Amino acid sequence: MTSFDHVRLPSTALLGSLAKPANMRTNFISCIWRVSVGSLALAMTSIPVLSVNTYLAARYSLRRLVTGSDGASVPIMSFRTQHGPILHALAQIAVIKAHANAAVELYKDTSMDPRVRDGVAAAAKASMTHHACSSLSNLTERVGAHGLFEHNNVLQSEVREKLSLCWPVAQGHSAHDARHQDCRGRRPRLEYSYVLRYVTM
């Protein structure tokens, strides 16, 4: 074990300045700038998650057959209530990809006010995660009991997306935190339990 006892350090050993920052909030945000990057990165995970689950729902809908009014077997994909949410999810994937690319380019612009860049990351996380979570809920319903099977990873994806809605962004709280008061301030394990109960009700 490494230990120190009454060690004197020169003033040059201090990291940073002793002077009080002119703006405490700006200084704090600059110290945790990686959190904003994490918010943007977390938001972009919605793209592969939604893509995989849309594919699974589409494959299931093409394979699952029911007897039509004429007595012939037809895939459930032929029903509007089935293919509508799947096509909607495909459209959302395209929009979220475009949003992610635009958000990354804006965030990379170092000439922009840091507060604006943080806002871009927070807005991207809030909007992308919210829309992906909405589509995942619809896709879970479209695959029926198959969505509960662990190997399909459909329900688990929805739980993770709902969990990310509960996680605060760099600026303290996102727009979602106001709508998800029950999630604020909880530890990840408790949030997972809360979301799991919510999904399985």
Mean of pLDDT values over 114-136: 90
pLDDT in tens, 130-189: 999 889 889 988 888 877 777 777 777 877 777 766 544 333 443 334 334 344 443 333
Q: 33-171+178-200: what fold?
A: Butyryl-CoA Dehydrogenase, subunit A; domain 3 (1.20.140)
| Structure-derived torsion over alpha carbons of residues 147, 178, 113, 38, reported in degrees to the nearest 10 | -30
Report helix, strand or coil for 66: strand
pLDDT for the residue 166: 56
pLDDT of residue 148: 74
Task: Output the furthest CA–CA distance in the chain (Å, rounded).
Answer: 90
What are the tokens at 144? 């029926």
Nearest alpha-carbon partner for 129 in 195, 186, 174: 174
Give the mean model confidence (pLDDT) for residues 31-45: 87
Pick from 46, 60, 49: nearest CA to 142: 60
Q: Which residue has the higher pLDDT, 12 or 103?
A: 103
82 beta partners? none
Tens digit of each residue's pLDDT (9 = 90 or more) over 53-110: 999 999 999 999 999 888 899 999 999 999 999 999 999 999 999 999 999 999 999 8
